[in-house]
Chains A and B, each alone.
Chain A
Amino acid sequence: MIAEKYAKEIESLFERYPADQRKSAVLPLLHIAQQEYGYSSEEAMKEVAEIIGCDPTHVRGIAGFYSLYYEEEVGKYVLEVCNDLACALRGADEFIKMAEGKLGIDLEGTTEDGMFTLKNVMCLGACDRAPMLQCNLKFHENLDEAKFDQLIADYRAKAAAGDSEPTVVDKILIQTHH
């Protein structure tokens, strides 16, 4: 329940918007809920709706509209590789093939251990550093096979060690108050 766990943070989130505009916090709240529940589960969406005070239909619509919300279960780490034109000109499609092979999954698939989900996404705004991907919102740029191997190894090691580092969502949406 993020409502209890992040009560203070959520309150400060609402303070950013006009008092009668609680709906404005739906995107950040869903980011937080998704992190908490692993994906935008029914529970996560209902909780966000309750916090905002809107019908859950609205939250589900939001989750369906924006591509960073996952309505299906995903792995612990979501690797999103951009293969738009600019990245593809620099080998993004081949990079994805390589990644599929290494992870033993197809695009949209999740490794058997539930560790990684591989997706291709539209432009991430790092075209000059392709091939690139974002993993749980963290960018990894100028990649090649060797760097990818390292990256996967690093994440596996991190997970094995319990991965207690604050995430991007933690740092930007939860730990910020001004």
Chain B
Amino acid sequence: MAHVILRHRDVENIKELDVYVKNGGYEGLKKALSMTPEEVVNEIKAAGIRGRGGAGFPAGIKWSFMPKGDGQKYIVINNDESETGTFKDREILEGNPHQVIEGALIAAYAVGADMVYCYWRGEYMDAAYPAEKAIKDAYKAGYLGKNILGSGFDCDYHNHFGAGAYICGEETALLNSLMGNLGQPWSKPPFPAQAGAYDKPTVVNNVETLANVPPTMVNGADWYANLGTDQSNGVKIVCMSGHVARPGNYEVEMGKVTYRELIYGDEYCQGMRDGKEFKALLPSGGSGPVVLPDALDGNVSFEGLNDYGSMMGSASVIVMDEDTDMVWAALKMTHFFKHESCGKCTPCREGTFWLEKTLHRIMEGHGTEEDIKTLDRVAHSMQGKCLCALGEFAVSPVIGTLKHFRSEYVAKVRQAEAVPAD
């Protein structure tokens, strides 16, 4: 099947405006401009495009939360992509930038916005040349700016570069960062649709989410809804990393491909690296609980891992082989969350700090059984008490590994207790 999102893999140089247009580019926008904004929102609602950043909130419903009528509104594209194991949005914007611009324009038209900011994580600046060129070309060709395609619809589009902060992937933190503040999230309400960028109604959508919009407009909501499962429409890009033979991004129809196929399938990762045995995988970077070999039969969809106690999330799959020390893996992920905690709320600021300290102690061979209980307790003390999802997710590596690999923790502390501390 031809790619829906990663079209640069099928069409050479689709990042160039002329190639994109020759291959049906901006037809979705034209179609949208021929409809009323409300019809566009309804089309996206009917297609059932769910957010690809991880939470899976239906994009059309998000758009419909925007107040009607005049007044400044914004579309903000979330290209902060900083979750460990996630590298899909970078490829989309590097290879197929016009599809994102077009998606954002359709969103802007649908909600009555006249300004799009694309928030890039600062580390992706080098990957932004094609997108910068695409913006320039789109302005020149009349797809951006005043009176787009003679429709009377005006819309500007700017890239905005962050400077290294995972938390800015959280939509309110991202908006704070865009406004020149510390990238700390705020407690919702207000939701961005009520008061977002510069206190004005704002839609924040993930890059991949918006890339789904133009083909949906062209082919219709039914076409899109027919792809995937009842709850997960369309296609999903899966980022495969870790101990696999051929890591990378793979675009799959939702619900049609199992994790086993992703790892072992010829058109995907072609097996484990060095022929090792599979041990476990993190399906959503650090944010989703770790799953065991039984979960390989789960499929890639929002509901595909429900039975295995985890979730697809952003589909950033980190695969680990039989030699992986799961306490070490938990420490790595916990270190990430501690490093990226913005410090605003107490449980996350203090909790990630203590999770890491305690894991460190265990890894270094100074742990005790009491330390394992401390991990349990800190995780419990954070769950349900943090200001934003980062804090809630930060306990996932510890909770997941404690659930499935507690014996590895116990072995480490028993060994430590057997050897007198120096």
Contacts and interface: CB of A to CB of B under 8 A. Distances in A.
Interface residues of A, number: 47
Interface in B315-363: 316, 318-320, 324, 329, 332-333, 336, 339-340, 342
A37 interface: no
A45 B330 CA distance: 37
A95 to B, nearest CB: 15
Given A23-B181, A27-B180, A90 B242 contact: yes
Contact of A23 (B117, B162, B179): B179
Interface stretch (A99-107, A156-164, A169-177): A169-177
Nearest to B177: A27
Given A68-B122, A89-B320, A123-B83, A21 B132 contact: no
Nearest to B140: A178
Interface stretch (B21-29, B215-223, B243-251): B243-251
A112 B306 CA distance: 54
Contacts of B129: 171-172
Interface in B109-130: 117, 121-129
- For the complex, would chain B's binding face be called helix, strand, loop or mixed by DSSP majority? mixed
Given A18-B198, A128-B241, A172-B161, A85 B183 contact: no
A130 B318 CA distance: 13
A28 interface: yes
B84 interface: yes
B332 A125 contact: no
Given A62-B182, A86-B84, A125-B81, A138 B126 contact: yes
Interface string A137-154: 111000000000000000
A125 B123 CA distance: 9
A126 interface: yes
A68 B164 contact: yes
B32 interface: no
B90 A125 contact: yes
Contact of A86 (B198, B241, B340): B241
B340 A122 contact: yes
Contacts of A85: 84-85, 242, 282, 286, 318, 329, 332-333, 336
Question: Closest 6 interchain pairs by CB?
Answer: A23-B180, A67-B164, A66-B163, A128-B247, A127-B241, A68-B164
Interface of A: 16, 18, 21-28, 30-31, 52, 61-62, 65-69, 84-86, 88-90, 121-130, 134, 137-139, 168-169, 171-173, 176, 178
